[in-house]
Structure 1
Amino acid sequence: MLNPSRTADRPAAAETAYQHTKRLILTGGLPAGMMLSEGEIAGQLGLSRTPVREAFLRLETEGWLRLYPKRGALVVPVAPGEAEAVVEARLLLEAHAVEALLERTPGARQALARRLTAIVARQIEALDAGDLDGYTLQDSQFHLELVTAGANSLLLDFYVTLRERQQRMIALSMLADETRGRGFVAEHTDLVALIEAGDAVGFSTALRRHLHRAHASGETDAR
């Protein structure tokens, strides 16, 4: 007879293994091309291999892992051309959202600028503390705020699907050279100033330069 408590705990254990492994992939803790075993993750979390196996299957479905029977799981590298595709999609969505925002009242742009300035401050705090994970999350939040401000729920839903790829590429870039973070923060500050000035064209130009610099370095480091 099955133990009801153990049966109830299994989905939670699988979710824990899933979240833990995915976070390591997105932050660069598990490098692209690395072979990973169920036993490693099970040992880190104090779990059996069964929930880890379930987590690995889920991550394979999402494209983060490639499973090889009796050998382990390969951390899937950033695909050639993926960075460029993500940049173009993000550029369209973020620039459009800000353009739509700037067509509304000045108060709307000022409110967004305040939220973005607070995020930039948290990025600086994370860099000063050497907190790469915290920095990457705030970087992602900065750009999510831009799309959210466009007030288009369909475009926002699509953008969210790109967010994890964005996090991984920024983390890879930062792992290669943490000094890049200061440059990215300066560029964020410039983007905020362009929003405050109501300069949609200048914002789009600066955003394109910023995204290409951030993602291109992440793709190069992943290869």
Structure 2
Amino acid sequence: MLYTRRGLVVAALASERVYSDLKERIILGDIAGNTLLSEGEIADQLGVSRTPVREAFLRLQAEGWMHLYPKRGALVEGVDSSEGNEILEARRLIESWAASRLAAAPALLTKVADELETTLISQEAALAEEPDLQAFIIADLHFHQLLVESAGNRILTAVYRQLSDRQRRMTAYAVKTGSDRPYRVLQQHHDLLDALRTGDPHKFVKALDHHFNDIHGASPR
């Protein structure tokens, strides 16, 4: 019985490792959308049997990251324009609300703005000398999440966090498909922060629309 339990634990750990590895590679664009993966290929890459790979594939399919084709493999889902626009629309609604909420509390706004400025220092550091795009993408996510979390609505914060993986994937795609785009993202984050500090939510929304349109090609609503 002890051996069986130990074997189950080892199998579960292997499945989790495969799942985490594949999901992160999909998010960062190291595995592109519309790539067909085979169980054997991934098992060989990660040094595991096919069983944990199959379990990871099923989990990733349930979350919408891939689609399984019996006897052929798993096709990684791309981000179509409809899904991308829906994600940005949800983000716009929540982030605009957060800016309005903070504008109504000047002392809190000042505190949050100072914290956001610290995240921009992290983004700037990620682009210094040898750019670290993974660190840049994480700092990008933190900038937007901090804005929403600081506004103090747990339900909206939870909804926003559910978008985080797909948000990171869209950002990764954007910054890796244009050599100057990370620097534009950084400048536009400074613009967002400047607009937030004015206490005028409309200026923030205007800056946010420009940010989404320029980086992700989404038209303002």
TM-score, with length taken from structure 2: 0.92
Decide whether the 8 Å contact of 1:136 with 1:170 is kept in 2: yes
**Shift in Å, 1:144:** 0.7
Flag the 1:214–1:71 CA change in 2: closer, same or farther, 3 A. same
Decide whether the 8 Å contact of 1:87 with 1:212 is kept in 2: no
How far apart are the structure 2 equivalents of 1:84 and 1:154?
Answer: 22
Decide whether the 8 Å contact of 1:101 with 1:150 is kept in 2: yes
How far apart are the structure 1 equivalents of 2:22 and 2:217?
Answer: 25
**Shift in Å, 1:213:** 2.1
How far apart are the structure 1 equivalents of 2:117 and 2:45?
Answer: 37
User: Per-residue displacement from partner, 1:125-166 (whole Å, max 9, x unpaired)?
Assistant: 212232111111111111111111211111111111211111
3-state SS of paired residue (1:112): helix
**Shift in Å, 1:90:** 0.7
CA RMSD of aligned residues (A): 1.5
Count matched residues: 216
**Shift in Å, 1:119:** 1.1
Decide whether the 8 Å contact of 1:84 with 1:216 is kept in 2: no
Identity %: 38
What stretches of structure 1 move > 4 A for 4+ residues in a row?
Answer: none
**Shift in Å, 1:216:** 2.1
Structure 1 counterpart of 2:174: 173
Structure 1 counterpart of 2:57: 56
Structure 1 counterpart of 2:201: 200
Aligned pairs for 1:148-163 (under 5 A) are 148-163=149-164
How far apart are the structure 1 equivalents of 2:87 and 2:196?
Answer: 23
How far apart are the structure 2 equivalents of 1:209 and 1:142?
Answer: 17
Matched, 1:127 2:127: yes
User: Per-residue displacement from partner, 1:80-106 (whole Å, max 9, x unpaired)?
Assistant: 3112111111111001011101101x2
Flag the 1:178–1:38 CA change in 2: closer, same or farther, 3 A. farther
Aligned pairs for 1:1-223 (under 5 A) are 3-104=4-105, 106-128=106-128, 129-216=130-217
Flag the 1:9–1:152 CA change in 2: closer, same or farther, 3 A. same
1:125 maps to amino acid:
A
Decide whether the 8 Å contact of 2:196 with 2:203 is kept in 1: no
How far apart are the structure 1 equivalents of 2:42 and 2:116?
Answer: 36
Structure 2: gaps of 5 or more residues: none
How far apart are the structure 2 equivalents of 1:178 and 1:12?
Answer: 38
Decide whether the 8 Å contact of 2:102 with 2:109 is kept in 1: yes
How far apart are the structure 2 equivalents of 1:178 and 1:47?
Answer: 36
Flag the 1:136–1:69 CA change in 2: closer, same or farther, 3 A. same
Flag the 1:179–1:10 CA change in 2: closer, same or farther, 3 A. same
